[in-house]
Structure 1
Amino acid sequence: MNNSLSTPLGMIPNDHGTHVAGIIAAQTNNPYGIIGAASDVTLGAYRVFGCDGDVGNDILIEAYLKAYDDGSDIIPASIGGASGWPEDSWAAVVSRIVEKGVPCLVSAGNSGDEGIFYASTAANGKRVTAVASVDNTIAPALLSEATYSVAGSSVSTFGFTAGNPSAWANVSLPVWSVNFDTADAANGCEPFPDNTPDLSKYITLIRRGSCTFVQKAQNAAAKGAKHIIYYNNAAGSTKVDISAVAGIQGSAMVTAETGAAWIKALQAGSEVIVNMADPETAPKNLNNFPNTATPGFLSTYTSWGPTYEIDVKPQISAPGGMILATYPRALGSYAVLSGTSMACPLAAATWALVMQKRGTKDPKVLENLFSATAHPNLFNDGAKTYTMLAPVAQQGAGLIQAWDAANANALLSISSISFNDTANIKPLQSFEVTNAGKEAVTYQLGHISAATAYTFADTTSIDPAEFPNELVENKATLVITPAQLTLNPGQKKTVTVLAVPPKGLDAKRLPVYSGYITLNGTDSTGYSLPYQGVVGSMKAVTVLDKQYSYLSRSSDATLAPVAAGTTFTLPPAGKANETQYANTVYPTVVLTLSMGSAEVRADVVNAKGKTIGQVLTFPAYWNPRGTFEWNWDGALSDGSYAPAGTYKITLRALKIYGNSKKPQDWETQTTESFTIKYAAKSKREFTA
């Protein structure tokens, strides 16, 4: 079976698609000994991006339909955006393709810092397999070669990772450092001292750590720095981006060892001259460093589920942090990148191998196999490993195990269980276990809990806490029947699960509990089934942040609220895109959702209190949390324009699990009153 994988690739003119394709299908004709996880597949690619910018659901849907029509066996996508609603249009289409028999895997997202309840589309679609990212156990680094000398001694070679910007050709300068403490975590975080020399004549050496790369670069640039090299505070090297700092021409990172050697020489009073090289033409060497911080643990950037309807997301995890693969030739041919964008193609390629081994393309069977055989891991916050399993909302079933999935004899009928929230709890659920092997097996059933994650930092918060969420060990009680079952070859039996949510939790902070039902067989095999639920009511949480929902003006970069009675002069109806009105200041509707809302309205209310329609593009459906703004040119959703006059805009957000027909299920905020006028049409417009 020669499987075909078709993937809507993002940012193809840049680097993303080339890296994703290489993870799946790279051949062995390369200097680093890498090979794609399924190098014999037939690979299709569907371009959805231009050189930059975003892409709409319509184009993504078209790409998926084209991939389906072309007969793809698997359709993965390393792309997505915040949503949390499986009814989102792109997610819904992908779900239907899965129903038609084509597995679809989608990156879970790279917004782990946003905390829990930040599932991405189309990964949040029902039956769509969302893939989380696990960090590599090693930290591979492709280092460009350059040279340095100490006190005029013989030239030594070192490796560096070019940053952004990277104008290093023909740069040969002495090194300067603000201090000689290689353990100073805040090195460069404070303004440089008054006796700092003119740094335009040096390469400024700064230790990584504590504050951001940009902040350190700004402090250096204030003293004239044009070229900055950071030395790492961990194994290996990584790419930095300080392009936002004016005046910086070249940036790079070297290993901790290289940085320490230069600091030692500087401390001894010796001059260190670094002779940099153009990273596009310099020789490169692969260096494999140990990942001592997060080896095999969930990447801190991987996005957390669940959906707002408590569907389990992600489904599984795969290696995505620090992955070496192909890269555009103009950028060096090979590179190390990180993201759920890297985890998804690796998982999809593994799907293809198991499809071939087991002779099935059934999406449900494959997802269930990978889920049941995955290995859950402990929680790691990027610096420390805890004794609790990472929540299902972060890792899904755990890290995929290709051999186990390919050779499993126990087949589970589902890939996860959601008990919903306690206001809508579904405490009694069941699944089937089938023995696909040739011998009778007895399974002992049990369960192990994962960490329970609080959504909110305290009872007054309405925005989910940023990563790392507060985790506690309060466990659900599960009654699993039977506690033991024996299955003859080909036999199937049903297991029922009764859940009692954890006690002692603060329901107002919306804790999400989870864990794994375990099946340990007399044939030395083990399987698990992830479960999760919420203590509290999803409907009771605040969705509309009224403090940050108001009317602003398009000319205000800070989006501050306008005063009552502000007047806006708008272009004539239908003329907003014409050049002569390019400097128009529009009323800007600012709406902030603290949690997702299935429907948002923006009703335009006149001075008599009558609603005349909605702002164009409203109602907006299946909205994620976050702040959004719309510039209004007077157009209404029915195609007409509001007459000149005084108005207010009433913003309405439907509660989670709310009924749109019930007024009490909406949260509402009304803006200050404002007046709109329309500019008179020019003679040219009348003539036309």
Structure 2
Amino acid sequence: MRVHPALATLLGALSYTTNAVAATNAEGAVASSAAVDESIVKGAYIVEFEGDDDTSAFYKDLSTDGIEVEHRMAMNYQLFKGTSFHLKGDVAEPDVAANKIAAKSRVKSIWPVRKISFPKPDVTHVGSNVTELLQRVAKAKRQEGDGNLFTPHVMTQVDKLHAEGYTGKGLRIGIVDTGVDYTHPALGGCFGEGCLVGYGYDFIGDDDSSPVPIPDSDPYDGCMGHGTHVAGIIAAQLNEHNFTGAAPGVTLGMYKATGCGGATTNEILLSGFYAAFEAGSDIISCSAGDDSGWASDPWAIAASRIAEAGVPVIVAPGNSGDLGIWYPSTPASGLHVTAAGSVENVVLPSMVKAATFSINNGTETQRFGVRFGSPSFQVNATLPLWAVGNDTNSETDACDALPDNTPDLSDKAVLLRMPTSGSECTTETQAKNLADKGARYVLWYSQTNINIPDVYINNELIEAVGGVPSEQGAEFISLLNEGNTVTVDINDWSSAGLFIHNLDNPIGGYTVRSSSWGPTQEIDVKPQVTTPGGDILSTYPLTLGGYAVLSGTSMATPLLASIFALVAEARGTKDPEVLRSLISSTAKPNVWFDGDTAFNDILAPVAQQGAGLAQAWEAAHATTILSESSISFNDSDHFVAERTFTIQNTATEDVTYILGHTKALTMYTFANNGANVLKSTYFPNPSAEGWAELSFASDEITVPAGGVSEVTVTLTPPQNLNATLLPIFSGYITLNSTKEESLVLPYLGVLGSLHDTPIVQAGYDGGVYLTDTNGHFNIPSLANVTFTLNRPDSNSSSSGVIYPKLIIRPTLGAPTLRADLVALTDTGLPTTEWHGYQTLGPLSGFPATLVPRNGALSYFYGSLDDGTVVPEGTYKFVTSGVRVFGDASKEEDWDVVETVPFILKYKS
């Protein structure tokens, strides 16, 4: 049985992880945790065989050892030979059976089956920093009718490749997601050979209540929507909202991994990846993940194997950016997997109702958007437009009674500007003054393009109100000032169509706060690059409205997969490492944005953005290929000061490169609170004034045409920083060529020792302590608190019981984590010695391995993991964890902490 070298001797190499819930948006978010056993399907396992074994023979072999199993899924693939099964009956100690199975020579690896939930992306509308990019966006917004000028495509140069005719034609992108509404006209309207969605499978089936998957061949989804949105980002055809997917020429495959509830398991997801590979996918995209951050997680191993076999795998690293560094999800954490971070869209697509207007009673109409307010339009209204004022800068439209020469407004649609926020004039005041002149239908236009008015009027004379964008209001005023007659046609709320208006985004172009940070627990760079993932318009199931604006790395990932397809088509290569290197080296690093302020004098950390924002056209046309897409200098224990990479010059002439270095923000893992406890921190982690120094054998190198040259870089770590707080330093090796190419090679490293960092610490600040289920604040319990519980083996079911709860938040991701119960009074039960304690056994769900940094909690109901009910008495919890890069067989590599004692009693 093979075990990852960094995790040797980890309790039989059983890869348990928690499914901890991460805060993603709240200000000052505190890491939340989930019960450690909630994600584990108890007694269910995935086994990989050493060879091409026969499942029936394997089950028969287990039976001879007294281990009876129920089959779950056949997992017989080119890159994985194995099965998943459930231990039959009520097995008291499934870990014992699992260890017996792991010891068999035909077993290569064994992992528990874990429950995983697909993400529910944020739907956010906030409002665009003035950059060079905005000049292109402004041009795009003016040139209606060209689907290539979709802003995420402009930001990533996808539009430039479209202009050259590249669409991903002939390539197949396999998606592992929630299914797809292939009946959507923008997604081809059909499924199967010759359709846009040409292949796929449903690994879970339509019956969410089934304890085991019931697969079928149809990956249709009409209830979740996530996969349909992802599919549209890749391959939507030109539609009524004037956009296409980034690679509209590809054929899509959809491997459905969840039903309407959003729940799935790692066995299904592994199967989806391997099936997509075997179906001939040229690229695999997955916008899902699970808290872990370890490259040795089984799902990450599967994704990395596929990439090693020649198929690029693009995965979302998660939306846990508020938890700070060290938090990429799996399988994005896979060694050869490309993780896609997210940046804010430079516009905010706002979905409002469609209306039309005509000029001077002409037959030609133009569309515009209206946000219906209250009261809404209950009937179709075709009315001439009348404006209260002719100045779009007015802040007092209808704030006073209208003049006597005002016409009867009962047969007009009245247009006016929103009042200044905070002024004495309100929309209610305006509405009354308009109603006094007969107005029934009123449209307000906004003062700026960062919102569309959402108007609520309590005036019984006003029959319908709505809001229009400032740009539209200005156009109407200009037309009216020129002496034109403008007639608006607004349908009732039930029949009015959908209109997309792009609002300005004040934080557009910056890295999204919720985008998860690296590095992995093995200090590999994650994410690799970023693409727009904030507020992205795409397709949605017809049953759910047809189109939606969603946010998350879920949206950044399919765009990056599309860029891989376009670059592969343009360059004629599908090599994952070559494509990743090209896309990484031509990316544009972003400045640091802390959620409130942009710091133009320092780049954002590599752990947040990788190489930066992908630039597809530059990647497709670059004549330079670097051998690495990133470099990790590890931590101080494993530090290698001198690293090499190669420059391949594919141009027809010699090229000279000027080598340089640009620093990025250094950030501490922990806060210095003056105590002897390492205090975990969250976004934004504390920054440090200290950076690495880089030097080269020569600052200039000439690479002959068609040649390859080696570059040696020497790094000196930052000085005068607190290594105990594990600062992560990073930056970019820059290469500027005589071919006018500007390339980057991101790097990072850690000052300090991960191995010497205690993995668990006692107390509220330390992260391991006793609390209870009363309330939501996890306040530490005092010593010798009495908990009176329902006895687990009785029929008692009293309500309002307060249970002991163990909180465990490791300082870093924990290779192995134990939580044991130790009796302080006589119980008559057998004990086992563990690091100086006589333990009764582990709590439910323990031991656990590959635990994420925000850890887990465990509720204690009076019984141990094997089902043993403990008697009344005094107890304490003992938590122990193996340090990162530690050896579980060495006592000194474990940290052990105990909680305060508590008294256990049972209700009679």
- TM-score band (shorter)? 0.7 to 0.9
Structure 2 residue aligned with 1:329, among 528, 539, 542? 542
Instruction: Single out whichever of 343-352 and 277-286 deviates more from structure 2.
Output: 277-286
Q: Is 1:651 aligned to 2:879, yes or no? A: yes
Q: What aligned pairs does 1:248-647 form with structure 2 within 5 A after superposition?
A: 282-291=496-505, 293-386=506-599, 387-460=601-674, 462-472=678-688, 474-548=690-764, 549-554=768-773, 557-560=776-779, 563-572=784-793, 587-607=804-824, 610-626=838-854, 628-633=856-861, 636-637=864-865, 639=866, 641-644=868-871, 646=873, 647=875
Give the drift of 1:350.
0.9
Give the drift of 1:278.
8.7
Give the drift of 1:642.
4.7
Q: 1:60 matched to which residue of 2?
A: 269
Q: 2:229 matched to which residue of 1?
A: 19
Give the drift of 1:640.
5.3
Contact 1:115–1:464 under 8 Å retained in 2: no
Structure 2 residue aligned with 1:5, among 168, 173, 192? 173
How many Å separate the matches in 2 of 1:236 and 1:554?
A: 44
What is the aligned-residue identity percentage? 41
SS of alignment partner, residue 634 of structure 2 = strand
Structure 1 residues without counterparts, runs of 5 or longer: 148-156, 172-181, 183-204, 210-229, 241-251, 262-275, 681-688
Match of 1:91, as an amino acid?
A
Contact 2:872–2:906 under 8 Å retained in 1: no
Q: What aligned pairs does 1:220-235 form with structure 2 within 5 A after superposition?
A: 235=449
Q: 1:246 matched to which residue of 2?
A: none
Structure 2 residue aligned with 1:114, among 323, 327, 332? 323
Match of 1:616, as an amino acid?
S
Contact 2:529–2:614 under 8 Å retained in 1: yes
Residues 149-208 of structure 1: CA deviation (Å, up to 9, x unaligned): xxxxxxxx973399xxx998979xxxxxxxxxx9xxxxxxxxxxxxxxxxxxxxxx9999
Q: 1:197 matched to which residue of 2?
A: none
Give the drift of 1:68.
2.2
Contact 1:84–1:596 under 8 Å retained in 2: yes
Contact 1:139–1:235 under 8 Å retained in 2: no
Change (3 A) 1:95 1:289: same
How many Å separate the matches in 2 of 1:346 and 1:239?
A: 31
Change (3 A) 1:96 1:543: same
Instruction: Single out whichever of 315-324 and 375-384 deviates more from structure 2.
Output: 375-384
Contact 1:103–1:128 under 8 Å retained in 2: yes
Contact 1:571–1:584 under 8 Å retained in 2: no
Residues 557-607 of structure 1: CA deviation (Å, up to 9, x unaligned): 55555644534333329x9xxx97998765443322243211110123344
Change (3 A) 1:391 1:558: closer
Larger Rg: 2
SS of alignment partner, residue 493 of structure 1 = strand
TM-score normalised by structure 1 residue count: 0.76
Q: 2:889 matched to which residue of 1?
A: 661
Give the drift of 1:16.
1.8
Change (3 A) 1:554 1:296: closer
SS of alignment partner, residue 309 of structure 1 = coil
Contact 1:301–1:339 under 8 Å retained in 2: yes
TM-score normalised by structure 2 residue count: 0.59
Number of residues of Structure 1 aligned to a counterpart in Structure 2: 589
How many Å separate the matches in 1 of 2:421 and 2:638?
A: 48
Contact 1:129–1:314 under 8 Å retained in 2: yes
Contact 1:388–1:473 under 8 Å retained in 2: no
Contact 1:232–1:253 under 8 Å retained in 2: no
Change (3 A) 1:303 1:102: same
Q: 1:104 matched to which residue of 2?
A: 313
Residues 601-642 of structure 1: CA deviation (Å, up to 9, x unaligned): 0123344652232223211111112252233455555x4525
Contact 2:453–2:468 under 8 Å retained in 1: no
How many Å separate the matches in 2 of 1:527 and 1:169?
A: 55
How many Å separate the matches in 1 of 2:421 and 2:613?
A: 30
Q: 1:160 matched to which residue of 2?
A: 371
How many Å separate the matches in 2 of 1:130 and 1:239?
A: 38
Give the drift of 1:357.
2.1
Give the root-mean-square deviation of aligned CA atoms.
4.0
How many Å separate the matches in 1 of 2:421 and 2:799?
A: 44
SS of alignment partner, residue 336 of structure 2 = coil
Match of 1:8, as an amino acid?
V
Give the drift of 1:297.
2.1
Q: 2:388 matched to which residue of 1?
A: none
Give the drift of 1:528.
1.5
Give the drift of 1:369.
1.3
SS of alignment partner, residue 431 of structure 1 = strand
How many Å separate the matches in 1 of 2:450 and 2:372?
A: 10
Contact 1:160–1:253 under 8 Å retained in 2: yes
Give the drift of 1:7.
1.6
Change (3 A) 1:555 1:370: same
SS of alignment partner, residue 511 of structure 2 = coil
Q: 2:390 matched to which residue of 1?
A: none
Contact 1:416–1:529 under 8 Å retained in 2: yes
Q: Is 1:73 aligned to 2:73, yes or no? A: no
Contact 1:141–1:286 under 8 Å retained in 2: yes
SS of alignment partner, residue 84 of structure 1 = coil
Contact 2:369–2:499 under 8 Å retained in 1: no
How many Å separate the matches in 2 of 1:551 and 1:531?
A: 40
How many Å separate the matches in 2 of 1:634 and 1:81?
A: 30
SS of alignment partner, residue 516 of structure 1 = strand
Contact 2:635–2:749 under 8 Å retained in 1: yes
Match of 1:320, as an amino acid?
G
Contact 1:391–1:514 under 8 Å retained in 2: yes
How many Å separate the matches in 1 of 2:850 and 2:560?
A: 28
How many Å separate the matches in 2 of 1:72 and 1:408?
A: 25
Match of 1:667, as an amino acid?
D
How many Å separate the matches in 2 of 1:170 and 1:539?
A: 67
Residues 254-291 of structure 1: CA deviation (Å, up to 9, x unaligned): 78859x99xxxxxxxxxxxxxx9997754332212333
Match of 1:123, as an amino acid?
A
